[in-house]
Chains A and B, each alone.
Chain A
Amino acid sequence: MAIKIRYFASLKDRLGRSEDQLLDTGARSVLEVWQAVNADKPLPDNVLAAVNMDYVSLEHIVQDGDEVAFFPPVTGG
Protein backbone atom coordinates (compact mmCIF):
# COMPACT_ATOMS: atom_id res chain seq x y z
CA MET A 1 0.00 0.00 0.00
CA ALA A 2 1.00 3.61 -0.35
CA ILE A 3 -0.36 7.10 -0.02
CA LYS A 4 -1.41 8.74 -3.26
CA ILE A 5 -1.01 12.51 -3.46
CA ARG A 6 -2.86 14.58 -6.06
CA TYR A 7 -2.54 18.22 -7.12
CA PHE A 8 -5.03 20.33 -9.02
CA ALA A 9 -5.36 23.55 -11.03
CA SER A 10 -2.74 26.31 -10.52
CA LEU A 11 -0.91 24.25 -7.90
CA LYS A 12 -0.51 21.36 -10.38
CA ASP A 13 0.84 23.83 -12.98
CA ARG A 14 3.25 25.35 -10.49
CA LEU A 15 4.61 21.96 -9.36
CA GLY A 16 4.70 20.60 -12.90
CA ARG A 17 3.04 17.31 -11.94
CA SER A 18 -0.40 16.04 -10.94
CA GLU A 19 0.49 13.12 -8.65
CA ASP A 20 3.00 11.70 -6.20
CA GLN A 21 3.23 8.40 -4.34
CA LEU A 22 4.55 8.01 -0.82
CA LEU A 23 5.65 4.48 -0.05
CA ASP A 24 6.88 5.08 3.48
CA THR A 25 3.67 4.62 5.43
CA GLY A 26 4.63 5.77 8.93
CA ALA A 27 2.00 7.90 10.69
CA ARG A 28 2.13 11.39 9.21
CA SER A 29 -0.02 14.49 9.19
CA VAL A 30 -1.24 16.01 5.93
CA LEU A 31 1.41 18.74 6.28
CA GLU A 32 4.13 16.10 6.79
CA VAL A 33 2.93 14.32 3.65
CA TRP A 34 3.38 17.58 1.71
CA GLN A 35 6.86 18.05 3.18
CA ALA A 36 7.87 14.46 2.39
CA VAL A 37 7.21 14.88 -1.33
CA ASN A 38 7.91 18.63 -1.71
CA ALA A 39 11.02 18.97 0.44
CA ASP A 40 12.19 22.17 -1.20
CA LYS A 41 8.83 23.98 -1.35
CA PRO A 42 6.79 25.35 1.56
CA LEU A 43 3.06 24.70 1.36
CA PRO A 44 1.48 27.87 -0.13
CA ASP A 45 -0.73 29.73 2.36
CA ASN A 46 -4.06 29.45 0.59
CA VAL A 47 -3.84 25.76 -0.32
CA LEU A 48 -6.70 23.48 0.77
CA ALA A 49 -6.29 19.81 1.65
CA ALA A 50 -8.55 16.78 1.32
CA VAL A 51 -8.18 13.16 2.40
CA ASN A 52 -10.31 10.59 0.61
CA MET A 53 -12.28 13.48 -0.95
CA ASP A 54 -13.23 15.18 2.34
CA TYR A 55 -11.75 18.49 3.48
CA VAL A 56 -9.29 18.10 6.37
CA SER A 57 -6.96 20.28 8.42
CA LEU A 58 -3.19 20.09 7.88
CA GLU A 59 -2.90 18.27 11.23
CA HIS A 60 -5.13 15.39 10.10
CA ILE A 61 -3.29 12.07 10.36
CA VAL A 62 -3.07 10.16 7.09
CA GLN A 63 -3.53 6.38 6.95
CA ASP A 64 -1.93 3.88 4.59
CA GLY A 65 -3.97 3.71 1.38
CA ASP A 66 -5.40 7.22 1.72
CA GLU A 67 -5.67 9.63 -1.17
CA VAL A 68 -4.42 13.09 -0.18
CA ALA A 69 -5.16 16.11 -2.38
CA PHE A 70 -3.80 19.66 -2.35
CA PHE A 71 -5.44 22.45 -4.33
CA PRO A 72 -6.04 26.23 -4.46
CA PRO A 73 -9.33 27.88 -3.43
CA VAL A 74 -12.18 26.53 -5.55
CA THR A 75 -13.73 28.72 -8.25
CA GLY A 76 -16.67 26.80 -9.70
CA GLY A 77 -20.25 27.85 -10.26
Chain B
Amino acid sequence: MTILIRNESFNPWQEIQQHQNATPSGYGATSIFIGTMRDFNDGDTVKAMTLEHYAGMTEKQLEKIVAEAKQQWAILDTLIVHRVGNILPTEPIVLVSVWTAHRGDAFDGCRYIMEALKSRAPFWKKEQLISEEERWVSHNTDGYQQN
Protein backbone atom coordinates (compact mmCIF):
# COMPACT_ATOMS: atom_id res chain seq x y z
CA MET B 1 0.00 0.00 0.00
CA THR B 2 1.39 3.39 -0.98
CA ILE B 3 -0.27 6.74 -0.32
CA LEU B 4 1.32 9.90 -1.70
CA ILE B 5 0.14 13.49 -1.21
CA ARG B 6 1.76 15.70 -3.85
CA ASN B 7 2.20 19.47 -3.85
CA GLU B 8 3.17 19.55 -7.51
CA SER B 9 1.78 18.14 -10.73
CA PHE B 10 2.40 14.43 -11.24
CA ASN B 11 2.38 12.05 -14.18
CA PRO B 12 0.00 9.21 -13.27
CA TRP B 13 1.37 6.84 -15.95
CA GLN B 14 4.90 7.25 -14.63
CA GLU B 15 3.70 6.72 -11.04
CA ILE B 16 1.91 3.49 -12.05
CA GLN B 17 4.93 2.19 -13.97
CA GLN B 18 7.34 2.98 -11.15
CA HIS B 19 5.10 1.40 -8.54
CA GLN B 20 4.42 -1.68 -10.65
CA ASN B 21 8.15 -2.33 -10.98
CA ALA B 22 8.11 -3.03 -7.22
CA THR B 23 4.70 -4.77 -7.06
CA PRO B 24 4.84 -8.41 -5.94
CA SER B 25 4.36 -10.91 -8.76
CA GLY B 26 1.10 -12.81 -9.12
CA TYR B 27 -1.07 -9.98 -10.37
CA GLY B 28 -3.20 -10.55 -13.44
CA ALA B 29 -5.36 -7.44 -13.31
CA THR B 30 -4.77 -3.75 -12.70
CA SER B 31 -7.62 -1.28 -12.33
CA ILE B 32 -6.80 2.41 -12.59
CA PHE B 33 -8.81 5.53 -11.89
CA ILE B 34 -7.44 8.98 -12.72
CA GLY B 35 -9.37 12.13 -11.83
CA THR B 36 -8.44 15.22 -13.83
CA MET B 37 -9.30 18.86 -13.20
CA ARG B 38 -12.13 20.14 -15.43
CA ASP B 39 -12.24 23.74 -16.70
CA PHE B 40 -15.97 23.94 -15.90
CA ASN B 41 -18.18 23.30 -12.89
CA ASP B 42 -21.77 24.21 -12.03
CA GLY B 43 -22.16 26.11 -15.30
CA ASP B 44 -19.08 28.31 -14.81
CA THR B 45 -15.63 28.37 -16.38
CA VAL B 46 -12.98 27.49 -13.81
CA LYS B 47 -9.44 28.72 -14.42
CA ALA B 48 -7.67 27.20 -11.40
CA MET B 49 -8.28 25.45 -8.13
CA THR B 50 -6.67 25.22 -4.69
CA LEU B 51 -6.85 21.95 -2.82
CA GLU B 52 -6.56 22.11 0.96
CA HIS B 53 -6.20 19.02 3.14
CA TYR B 54 -5.92 17.96 6.77
CA ALA B 55 -2.39 16.55 6.79
CA GLY B 56 -2.19 13.39 8.87
CA MET B 57 -5.93 12.71 8.87
CA THR B 58 -5.84 12.34 5.10
CA GLU B 59 -3.27 9.56 5.26
CA LYS B 60 -4.98 7.93 8.26
CA GLN B 61 -8.36 7.82 6.52
CA LEU B 62 -6.90 6.55 3.24
CA GLU B 63 -5.04 3.77 5.08
CA LYS B 64 -8.33 2.73 6.72
CA ILE B 65 -10.14 2.76 3.37
CA VAL B 66 -7.48 0.56 1.75
CA ALA B 67 -7.61 -1.83 4.73
CA GLU B 68 -11.41 -2.08 4.33
CA ALA B 69 -11.01 -2.81 0.61
CA LYS B 70 -8.42 -5.52 1.37
CA GLN B 71 -10.89 -7.21 3.72
CA GLN B 72 -13.51 -7.38 0.97
CA TRP B 73 -11.44 -8.20 -2.12
CA ALA B 74 -8.25 -10.14 -2.85
CA ILE B 75 -6.00 -7.14 -3.40
CA LEU B 76 -2.25 -7.58 -3.88
CA ASP B 77 -1.21 -3.94 -3.91
CA THR B 78 -2.57 -0.39 -4.11
CA LEU B 79 -1.26 3.04 -5.05
CA ILE B 80 -3.05 6.31 -4.24
CA VAL B 81 -1.64 9.67 -5.32
CA HIS B 82 -3.55 12.89 -4.56
CA ARG B 83 -2.69 16.49 -5.36
CA VAL B 84 -2.89 19.42 -2.97
CA GLY B 85 -2.05 23.09 -3.58
CA ASN B 86 -2.70 25.05 -6.76
CA ILE B 87 -4.05 23.00 -9.67
CA LEU B 88 -4.76 23.94 -13.29
CA PRO B 89 -7.28 22.44 -15.72
CA THR B 90 -6.12 19.15 -17.35
CA GLU B 91 -3.77 18.38 -14.42
CA PRO B 92 -4.43 15.09 -12.63
CA ILE B 93 -5.96 15.42 -9.15
CA VAL B 94 -6.10 11.81 -8.04
CA LEU B 95 -4.81 8.39 -9.03
CA VAL B 96 -6.07 5.11 -7.57
CA SER B 97 -4.47 1.93 -8.88
CA VAL B 98 -5.26 -1.57 -7.63
CA TRP B 99 -3.36 -4.75 -8.50
CA THR B 100 -5.10 -8.12 -8.10
CA ALA B 101 -5.03 -11.65 -9.55
CA HIS B 102 -8.49 -11.33 -11.14
CA ARG B 103 -10.45 -8.48 -12.74
CA GLY B 104 -13.49 -8.52 -10.44
CA ASP B 105 -11.38 -7.73 -7.38
CA ALA B 106 -9.51 -5.03 -9.32
CA PHE B 107 -12.64 -3.24 -10.61
CA ASP B 108 -14.58 -3.46 -7.36
CA GLY B 109 -11.64 -2.62 -5.09
CA CYS B 110 -10.68 0.41 -7.17
CA ARG B 111 -14.27 1.69 -7.22
CA TYR B 112 -14.63 1.20 -3.47
CA ILE B 113 -11.41 3.06 -2.66
CA MET B 114 -12.27 5.95 -4.98
CA GLU B 115 -15.84 6.38 -3.69
CA ALA B 116 -14.71 6.17 -0.05
CA LEU B 117 -11.95 8.72 -0.76
CA LYS B 118 -14.57 11.10 -2.19
CA SER B 119 -16.74 10.89 0.92
CA ARG B 120 -14.18 10.53 3.74
CA ALA B 121 -10.69 11.79 2.84
CA PRO B 122 -10.39 15.35 4.21
CA PHE B 123 -9.64 17.39 1.08
CA TRP B 124 -11.44 20.60 0.09
CA LYS B 125 -11.52 22.35 -3.29
CA LYS B 126 -11.66 26.09 -3.77
CA GLU B 127 -12.32 27.17 -7.35
CA GLN B 128 -11.06 30.33 -9.04
CA LEU B 129 -13.52 31.30 -11.76
CA ILE B 130 -12.73 33.19 -14.94
CA SER B 131 -14.70 36.10 -13.43
CA GLU B 132 -12.03 36.22 -10.64
CA GLU B 133 -14.63 35.05 -8.11
CA GLU B 134 -13.40 32.40 -5.65
CA ARG B 135 -15.73 29.79 -4.18
CA TRP B 136 -15.46 26.64 -2.09
CA VAL B 137 -16.96 23.52 -3.66
CA SER B 138 -19.73 22.71 -1.17
CA HIS B 139 -20.16 18.97 -1.78
CA ASN B 140 -19.20 16.13 -4.10
CA THR B 141 -21.71 14.80 -6.64
CA ASP B 142 -22.64 11.15 -7.18
CA GLY B 143 -20.14 10.92 -10.03
CA TYR B 144 -22.57 10.97 -12.95
CA GLN B 145 -23.42 13.67 -15.49
CA GLN B 146 -25.77 16.22 -13.89
CA ASN B 147 -28.55 17.37 -16.25
Chain A residues in the interface with B (C-beta under 8 A):
6, 8-10, 13, 50, 53-55, 69, 71-77
Known: A53-B60, A69-B57. A76 touches B136 (CB 8 A): no
B139 touches A73 (CB 8 A): yes
CB distance from B22 to the nearest CB of A (A): 25
Q: Pick the contact of B56 from A10, A53, A73, A77 — CB < 8 Å?
A: A53
A53 touches B54 (CB 8 A): yes
B57 touches A76 (CB 8 A): no
Complex: how many Å from CA A10 to CA B56? 19
CB distance from A46 to the nearest CB of B (A): 8
Q: In the complex, given contacts A8-B124, A55-B120, A77-B93, what are 11 additional A-B residue pairs having Cβ atoms less than 8 angstroms apart?
A: A8-B52, A10-B138, A50-B54, A75-B124, A75-B140, A76-B51, A76-B125, A77-B114, A77-B117, A77-B123, A77-B140
> Across the two chains, which residue of chain B brings its CB closest to A69?
B54
Chain B residues in the interface with A (C-beta under 8 A):
35, 51-54, 56-57, 60-61, 82, 93-94, 114, 117-126, 136-140
Q: Could you list 27 A-B pairs, sorted by A, with CB under 8 Å? A: A8-B54, A8-B122, A9-B136, A10-B124, A50-B54, A50-B57, A53-B56, A54-B57, A54-B60, A55-B120, A69-B54, A71-B54, A71-B122, A72-B124, A72-B136, A72-B138, A73-B139, A73-B140, A74-B120, A75-B125, A75-B136, A76-B94, A76-B121, A77-B35, A77-B117, A77-B118, A77-B123
| Chain B, interface SS category | mixed
A74 touches B119 (CB 8 A): yes
